[in-house]
């Protein structure tokens, strides 16, 4: 692994994959990200493997599908036997620094039961050196505010209440926190402070931004960056009742997701929001994105000013998406693209990559590809268990002939489904799972113990019409069910399946040949 190269991994939270200007979003204004896209490669059909944060980040940072790492929900422990990007970077002499969070719970089999990490939503994944930790409970950020002389209320999260008094819920009002003290500004300050101290040493930084995660409210002037009339209207059925007819899981979310989960003062169900309320919510969401973009400009500007831009691999991505009122839903839940389609932009500083700058890749890529891409760029070995593939060929203008033709993702609703799991659908806890396989034409959703879904994306891009029981689609449904079975068979955990015993000792068969393991 070269000691002359830096890596900046930028991970935002809940940023939809369609919200990129280079991909044709009708109103988003992100000049700094647009410039990165023009100087790098943008992946149009990039998907996370799981939601919410914990499962999505587990796949991003281990390179594993959820069926292998099994962090199926926030607060579910991470198996200690799994390696991760930070641990692999340490093998090459890097100390992986982190601003933000990984939403990881430690393995209880190797962690004392009274460990305080079991009393919070998430702690840091093994191997990371925190230089700006968001967890637990955003304490470092709120303490930073206090050092700046800002009065933190008894309920610290109340800083994200609207500055103006008005009816509760979606608003175009600014938040009570000024822009120079926002959590986005804090994360940037942590990153710049770290980078100042690393100017003459190779470094690896995971820069996490909490936004555009809820609460959906932006500080001034970002709250007024967008007019509700200019933002896209939600893609949804005529009513929540019509939407709910598609599937029992969707019906449950429409009847249970509350606005209070997305606005500090929210009232009522998210599915009851009018189009005007959704548009106001979207102005806040896009405003937070523009705020993050301004701070990305600060960080990238620092790299250019210090001469580090041209020896730093920059990866911009996300943990999962956001429904944002589409299908009458808020948050990240279920099986719609809005929750799983995420951005990925990679800027390779190598002169050999100059011909690919500004390229948009249409092939199907997945969040599990990020870890092997970074390791391969640094010349490091990719762990045998890693399910992803390096994206480096795309960064050099190539397109591997054997690249995947579908994307795959999973969702587990054991906790988010709450009491409805037992009282409404009569499901056991381990039956609360779904898996998706899709390409540009078809999408198949398989449930453990609920009816499947099948969408013809060419005829029905909004995913309103389930064709799983349509006789005309029966051959296609069978074809995609078989594709999913083949996928699961191929990617079953293979941590040790490349090895075998022999009269000569332990053999390594991972590279298509028999090689004696000597150490």
Q: What is the CA radius of gyration of the chain?
A: 23
* Final residue before a domain boundary, out of 403, 421, 439: 403
For residue 188, being part of any structural domain is answered with yes
Asked whether residue 386 falls in the same domain as residue 443, the answer is no
Quote the pLDDT of residue 223.
98
Q: What CA–CA distance (Å, rounded) separates 282 from 496? A: 47
Over residues 291-309, mean pLDDT: 97
Are residue 61 and residue 134 in the same domain, yes or no? yes
Question: Are 134 and 12 in a shared domain?
Answer: yes
Residue 252 inside a domain? The answer is no
The pLDDT mean for the chain works out to 94
How do beta strands 507-508 and 359-366 pair? Answer: unpaired
The single residue listed with the structure tokens 């919410």 is 52
**Does 325 reside within a domain?**
yes
Mean of pLDDT values over 406-429: 77
Q: Are residues 102 and 221 in the same domain?
A: yes
Cα 393 → chain centroid: 23
Q: Is residue 241, in this structure, part of any structural domain at all?
A: no
* Count of beta carbons in the 10 Å neighbourhood of residue 355: 10
Report pLDDT for 192. Answer: 98
State mean pLDDT over 86-100.
97
From the candidates 37, 53, 190, 386, give the one annotated as an active-site residue.
Answer: 53
Do 314 and 437 reside in the same domain of the chain? Answer: no
CATH number for the domain harbouring residue 58: 3.40.720.10
The per-residue pLDDT for 420 is 54
Q: Tell me, what's the pLDDT at 3?
A: 45
Q: What percent of the chain has pLDDT over 90?
A: 89
Question: What is the span of the domain harbouring residue 31?
Answer: 6-236+272-403
Q: CATH number for the domain including 452?
A: 3.30.1120
53 is catalytic: yes
The verdict on residue 498 lying in a domain is no
The pLDDT tens digits for 389-410 are 999 999 999 999 999 999 999 9
Confidence of residue 518 (pLDDT cuts 50, 70, 90): low
The total number of structural domains that make up the chain: 2
Predicted confidence at residue 504, as pLDDT, reads: 81
Instruction: Tell me the pTM.
Output: 0.96
Using CA atoms, how far apart are residues 334 and 249, in angstroms rounded to an integer?
A: 7
Given this model, what pLDDT does residue 417 score?
47
Q: Are 18 and 343 contacting, i.e. CB atoms less than 8 angstroms apart?
A: no
Residues 420 and 399 in one domain: no
Residue 359: phi, psi to the nearest 5? -70, 145
Going by pLDDT thresholds of 50, 70 and 90, the confidence category of residue 513 is low
The pLDDT, as a whole number, for residue 509 is 76
Q: What is the mean pLDDT of residues 264-276?
A: 97
Pair of tokens at residue 252: 């449950």
Tell me which H or E stretch contains 337. Answer: helix 337-340
Using one digit for the tens of pLDDT, what is the confidence trace for 145-194? 999 999 999 999 999 999 988 889 999 999 999 999 999 999 999 999 99
Mean pLDDT in residue range 129-153: 96
Distance (Å, whole) CA 254 – CA 331: 11
Using DSSP, state whether 415 is helix, strand or coil.
coil
Q: What is the pLDDT of residue 228?
A: 98
Q: Are residues 459 and 391 in the same domain?
A: no
d(C-alpha 343, C-alpha 346), whole Å: 10
Q: Does the pLDDT at position 348 exceed 80?
A: yes
Q: What number is the average pLDDT over the span 484-493?
A: 96
Looking at residue 282, the DSSP 8-state letter turns out to be H
Same domain, 15 and 151: yes
**Tokens, residue 60:** 């991003």
Query: Is 309 domain-assigned?
Result: yes
Tell me the percentage of the chain whose pLDDT exceeds 70.
Answer: 96
Query: Is residue 122 domain-resident?
Result: yes
Element (H, E) at 215: none
Confidence of residue 2 (pLDDT cuts 50, 70, 90): very low
């Amino acid at each position: 692994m070269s000691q002359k190269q830096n890596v900046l991994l930028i991970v935002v939270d809940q940023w939809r994959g369609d919200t990129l200007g280079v991909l044709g979003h009708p109103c988003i204004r992100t000049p700094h990200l647009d410039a990165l896209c023009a100087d790098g490669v943008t992946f149009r059909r990039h998907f996370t493997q799981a939601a919410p944060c914990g499962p999505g980040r587990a796949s991003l940072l281990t390179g594993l599908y959820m069926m292998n790492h099994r962090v199926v929900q926030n607060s579910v422990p991470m198996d200690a036997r799994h390696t991760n990007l930070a641990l692999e970077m340490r093998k090459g002499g890097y100390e992986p620094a982190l601003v933000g969070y990984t939403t990881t719970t430690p393995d209880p089999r190797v962690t004392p039961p009274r460990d305080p990490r079991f009393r919070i939503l998430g702690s840091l994944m093994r191997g990371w050196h925190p230089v700006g930790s968001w967890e637990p409970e955003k304490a470092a950020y709120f303490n930073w505010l206090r050092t700046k002389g800002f009065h933190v209320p008894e309920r610290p999260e109340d800083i994200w209440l609207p500055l103006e008094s008005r009816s509760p819920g979606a608003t175009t009002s600014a938040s009570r926190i000024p822009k120079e003290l926002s959590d986005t500004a804090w994360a940037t300050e942590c990153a710049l402070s770290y980078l100042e101290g690393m100017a003459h040493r190779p470094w690896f930084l995971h820069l996490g931004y909490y936004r555009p995660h809820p609460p959906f409210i932006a500080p001034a002037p970002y709250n007024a960056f967008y007019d509700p009339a200019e933002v896209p209207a939600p893609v949804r059925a005529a009513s929540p009742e019509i939407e709910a007819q598609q599937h029992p899981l969707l019906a449950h979310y429409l009847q249970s997701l509350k606005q209070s989960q997305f606005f500090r003062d929210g009232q009522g169900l998210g599915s009851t929001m009018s189009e005007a309320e959704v548009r106001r919510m979207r102005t806040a969401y896009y405003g937070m994105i523009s705020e993050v973009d301004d701070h990305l400009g600060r960080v990238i500007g620092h790299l250019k000013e210090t001469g580090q831009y041209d020896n730093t691999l920059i990866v911009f991505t996300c943990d999962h998406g956001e429904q944002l009122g589409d299908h009458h839903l808020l948050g990240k839940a279920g099986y719609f693209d809005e929750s799983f389609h995420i951005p990925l932009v990679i800027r390779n500083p190598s002169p050999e990559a100059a011909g690919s700058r500004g390229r948009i890749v249409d092939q199907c890529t997945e969040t599990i590809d990020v870890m092997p891409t970074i390791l391969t760029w640094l010349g490091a070995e990719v762990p045998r268990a890693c399910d992803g593939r390096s994206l480096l060929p795309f960064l050099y203008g190539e397109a591997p002939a054997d690249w995947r033709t579908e994307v795959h993702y999973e969702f587990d609703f054991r906790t988010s489904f709450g009491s409805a799991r037992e009282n409404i659908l009569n499901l056991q806890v381990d039956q609360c799972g779904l898996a998706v396989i899709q390409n540009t034409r078809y999408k198949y959703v398989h449930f453990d113990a609920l009816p499947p879904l099948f969408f013809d994306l060419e005829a029905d891009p909004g995913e309103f019409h389930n064709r799983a029981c349509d006789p005309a689609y029966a051959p296609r449904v069978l074809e995609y069910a078989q594709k999913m079975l083949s996928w699961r068979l191929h990617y079953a955990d293979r941590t040790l399946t490349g090895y075998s015993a022999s009269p000569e000792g332990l053999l390594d068969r991972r590279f298509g040949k028999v090689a004696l393991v000597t150490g």
